[in-house]
Amino acid sequence: METTRRTLLAAFIAAPLAPLSGVAAAAQGTPALPLTRACDDDNAATVEREPGPFFKPNAPLNRDLFADSPRGERITVAGFVVDDRCGPLPGSLVEVWHADENGHYDEQGFRLRGHQFADERGRWWFNTVVPALYPGRTRHFHFKVQRPGGRVLTTQLFFPGEPRNAHDRLFDHSLLMNISDTGDGRFARFDFVV
């Protein structure tokens, strides 16, 4: 069977979170899903990055953004929100905004902008398009993440293998997504530690 964004998302949703439930997962015979970054050391929290000039408040509750830019290359971005002991944070706000396939942000409306709340196991995902480069920046998504009642983490996520990563002053290796190519686009994974 061909690997698609949907099959990888289904696998992501089916797999338990490894550090939290490794014992339980082994008992169930289900392969555990490792976090993209260790959350059990002293510097676990996801690195912050500036929001930049294109953030707009009040983006809609929407995880399916692909229709906003139907000519773009599809990508599903998924992950957990966890605390610094790897515990999932259900109900966390996860908001994304990013450039379209031509490197433009929608400053009039809310194309390629949306938020959601992590599910009962701290999971979130967006179906969207791969943002193009725009002058002065390497390829990136903008995110805001807020655990219930907590402070807002503002950051940016980056793509592996981008030549301009090395020249971007906001780039950080710890903010690289794990990306798989699939039969119908890409599947990216990143876990926020807040």
Residues binding Fe ion (CB under 5 A): 52
DSSP helix/strand/coil, 166: helix
Chain residue at closest Cβ approach to Fe ion: 52
Name which of 34 and 52 has its Cβ closer to Fe ion: 52
DSSP state of 190: -
Q: How far is CA 8 from CA 15, 136, 160, in A?
A: 11, 33, 19
Instruction: Return d(Cα 75, Cα 190) in angstroms, integer.
Output: 13
Instruction: Return d(Cα 176, Cα 160) in angstroms, integer.
Output: 6
Name which of 95 and 182 has its Cβ closer to Fe ion: 95
Closest approach, Cβ 111 to Fe ion, in A, equals 14
- Max CA separation in the chain (angstroms): 51
Closest approach, Cβ 97 to Fe ion, in A, equals 8
Name which of 74 and 113 has its Cβ closer to Fe ion: 113
Instruction: Return d(Cα 11, Cα 176) in angstroms, integer.
Output: 21
Closest approach, Cβ 52 to Fe ion, in A, equals 5
Closest approach, Cβ 159 to Fe ion, in A, equals 13
Name which of 115 and 147 has its Cβ closer to Fe ion: 115
Instruction: Return d(Cα 86, Cα 144) in angstroms, integer.
Output: 19
Name which of 52 and 87 has its Cβ closer to Fe ion: 52
Closest approach, Cβ 44 to Fe ion, in A, equals 25
